[in-house]
Amino acid sequence: MNLFRSEEHLKRWLHHFHAVNDYVLSVGDWAEVFGASMFRKRLEPDYLARAPEYLEDYRRALHATGKTLPPPDRVLSTVMFTDIVDSTKVATLAGDSKWRSLLTRHNDISRSQLQHFGGREIDQIGDGFLSTFNSPARAIRCATAICRAMPSIGLQVRAGVHSGECEVIGDGLGGIAVHIGARIGALAGSNEVLVSQTVKDAVIGSDISFDDRGAHDLKGVPGQWQLYVVVS
Amino acid sequence: MIDQDLTQQAFTTILKHFVATGRAPHYGELANALEVGMEEAREVQRAAVEASPIASCWLAHDTDHIESYAPFSNVPTQYLISVDGTRKWYGQCGMESLAVRWLFPGQEVVVESRCLDCGESIRVRARDEEILEIEPETAVGYMPSPFAASRVGSAAFN
């Protein structure tokens, strides 16, 4: 939630994926929206009890402004898939209650790293996340941070990163680039971040290095795909 | 199970502490203010954070330290807040900074920030309902929809 000196400045900055219904308003209009009871009544002694009602006020105030971004058809984006390795086995060993707690911690860690590296959570798929970034290097760093953090709670994660044009479908994302990212992620080993040639080429000049993992068939995707594992 | 009244008290106490000092209380300070033990204070702090609407409050990763508590941030952000000439607070984000004024009734609140595109300054001056100055007048704010399905319950959209 950022401020810009004008809409022109915003347009220059906003070259990456945005979701349908993202809001762009003058600061004066925002000041009005943020005058809704949800923000005005935070010190009221029954604030939390009335939060659902205040939230509805806020939703109405936002919708009343009516100024949202138009839906782009296709956007260039970097997709990152993460997934817990051997989740069924770990869940069975842990038992339902502990597994739920582990999943909560896994989600907290993942979301915290997404926030830190400027990623956007698109969907939770199985025991992992589909997220997007406007920078492949940040996606790699985020995936690496998530893989490094998970052993501290007894989990192993695999991750795949790919950059390409994606279709914007409501708040979600689709298209072949998303499928490719998912296939790459599925080929990664425990605590590994696997990336496509596209991603490797895009981060030339960064301090990220890779080992070649050879050419692979990705189920349902034409051609052979050269994949690389992130080593630092 | 944390009592809802105690959660509400913790929520308000944390916010008032921000208003008074410019920072979040440690849960030890919260324990003292609420007259509860340290462990109960940690639990009620978590409950207060989790009870905040649209995930607008959160703890620093893997800690019991408040990182952000709308409309304030406990870590430096580019949203510098002054009240009646004293600069002591950080806004959680550009829009929440515009809601800080409700916590300082009758006082002049100034939000100073930088354009993410060019780095030039943006300044908003307000008192209660009244927006006294927006510099430049063309300034806009961009916010991903907080009600998008993928964002509800996640701090990430902030």
- Please indicate if any CB of chain A lies within 8 Å of the CB of B21: no
Q: Give the mean model confidence (pLDDT) for residues A205-214.
A: 94
Write the pLDDT tens digit of every residue in A77-127.
999 999 999 999 999 999 999 999 999 999 999 999 998 888 989 988 888
**Residues B48, B86 within the same domain:** no
**Residues B57, B84 within the same domain:** no
Looking at beta carbons, which residues of chain A come within 8 Å of B158? 1, 115
Asked if A23's CB is within 8 angstroms of B143's CB, the reply is yes
In terms of residue numbers, what domain contains B127? 80-135
For residue B1, what pLDDT is reported?
A: 66
**Residues B105, B125 within the same domain:** yes
Write the pLDDT tens digit of every residue in A11-57.
777 765 455 557 888 999 999 888 888 899 999 999 999 988 888 88
**Residues B101, B119 within the same domain:** yes
Distances in Å between the Cα of A145 and the Cα atoms of A72, A190, A213, B152 are 31, 14, 21, 23
Q: Give the mean model confidence (pLDDT) for residues A123-147.
A: 92
Query: Angle, to 10 degrees, between the axis of helix A96-117 and the axis of helix A136-149?
Result: 150
Is B151 a residue whose pLDDT tops 60?
no
Chain B closest CA to A74's CA: distance in Å? 18
**How many cross-chain Cβ pairs, A to B, lie less than 8 Å apart?**
185
Write the pLDDT tens digit of every residue in B70-120.
999 999 999 999 999 999 999 999 989 999 999 999 999 999 999 988 999
For residue A145, what pLDDT is reported?
A: 96
Number of domains composing chain B: 2
Query: Could you tell me the CATH superfamily of domain A74-230?
Result: Nucleotide cyclase, GGDEF domain (3.30.70.1230)
Q: What's the predicted TM-score (pTM) here?
A: 0.60
Mean residue pLDDT of chain A comes to 88
Distant-in-sequence, close-in-space partners of B104: CB < 8 Å, separation ≥ 6 = B19, B83, B84
Out of B70, B97, B127, pick the residue that ends a domain. B70
Q: Give the mean model confidence (pLDDT) for residues B10-37.
A: 97
3-state secondary structure chain B: CCCHHHHHHHHHHHHHHHHHHCCCCCHHHHHHHHCCCHHHHHHHHHHHHHHCHHHCEEECCCCCCEEEECCEECCCCCCEEEECCEEEEEECCHHHHCCHHHHCCCCCEEEEEECCCCCCEEEEEEECCEEEEEECCCCEEEECCCCCCCCCCCHHHC
Q: Is the pLDDT higher at A137 or at B158?
A: A137
For residue B36, what pLDDT is reported?
A: 96
DSSP state, A90? H
**Residues B64, B106 within the same domain:** no
**Residues B84, B116 within the same domain:** yes
Write the pLDDT tens digit of every residue in A67-91.
665 555 677 899 999 999 999 999 9
Boundaries of CATH 3.30.70.1230 in chain A? Answer: 74-230
Alpha-carbon gap, residue B102 to B112, rounded angstroms: 17
Kindly give the pairing relationship between strand A193-196 and strand A157-169. Answer: parallel
- Please indicate if any CB of chain A lies within 8 Å of the CB of B75: no
Asked if B99's CB is within 8 angstroms of A40's CB, the reply is yes
Asked if A31's CB is within 8 angstroms of B155's CB, the reply is no
CB A161 within 8 A of CB A229: no
For residue B10, what pLDDT is reported?
A: 97
b/e string for A183-204 if b means 16 or more Cβ within 10 A?
bbbebbeebbbbbbebbbebbe
For residue A168, what pLDDT is reported?
A: 76
**By percentage, how much of chain B surpasses pLDDT 90?**
78
